[in-house]
């Protein structure tokens, strides 16, 4: 017996698929993202999120169904979507020529990363911290 998955099609309707979804989404907030998205995993761990979870085969299906990209795990797609909505240009914060993500590779938040980068730059210019 083959396994089937329930996915959401471009019209927003559920259907059975022989292929698993590649993206997950939240039905109420109309956001989609990667299955390993840190924000989604935190929400799932808190509970309640799972009952509104949906899955998509492709990003095109998610967008056609009226979902927007997640700003945490899909920052480039989110910036593009935001620009199309008439929002900000989607530019990432930059300091000293470095692109800063929401969470850097050490697991620190953007705010602590910015403080660390500013302190490093200040020290390199001969200042005290």
- Whether 14 and 75 share a structural domain: yes
- Whether 18 and 80 share a structural domain: yes
Does residue 114 register a pLDDT over 70? no
Reported as a pLDDT band with limits 50, 70 and 90, residue 125 is: low
The number of beta carbons lying within 10 Å of the beta carbon of residue 31 is 21
52 part of a folded domain: yes
The angle formed by the CA atoms of residues 77, 83 and 85, to the nearest 5 degrees, is 105
The tens digit of pLDDT for each residue in 14-58 reads: 999 999 999 999 999 999 999 999 999 999 999 878 899 999 999
69 part of a folded domain: yes
43 part of a folded domain: yes
Distance (Å, whole) CA 62 – CA 125: 48
Q: Using the 8-state DSSP alphabet, how is residue 13 labeled?
A: -
- Whether 27 and 65 share a structural domain: yes
15 part of a folded domain: yes
Residue 20 main-chain phi, psi, to 5 deg: -75, 155
């Amino acid at each position: 017996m083959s396994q089937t998955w329930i996915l959401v099609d471009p019209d927003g309707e559920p259907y059975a698929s022989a292929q698993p979804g590649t993206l997950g989404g939240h039905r109420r907030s109309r956001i989609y993202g990667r299955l390993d998205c840190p924000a989604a995993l935190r929400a799932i761990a808190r509970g309640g999120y799972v009952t509104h979870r949906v899955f998509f085969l492709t990003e095109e299906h998610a967008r056609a169904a009226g979902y927007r990209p997640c700003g945490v795990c899909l920052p480039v797609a989110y910036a593009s979507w935001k620009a199309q909505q008439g929002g900000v240009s989607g530019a990432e914060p930059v300091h000293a020529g470095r692109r800063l993500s929401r969470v850097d590779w050490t697991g620190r938040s953007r705010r602590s990363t910015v403080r660390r980068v500013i302190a490093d730059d200040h020290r390199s210019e001969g200042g005290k911290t």
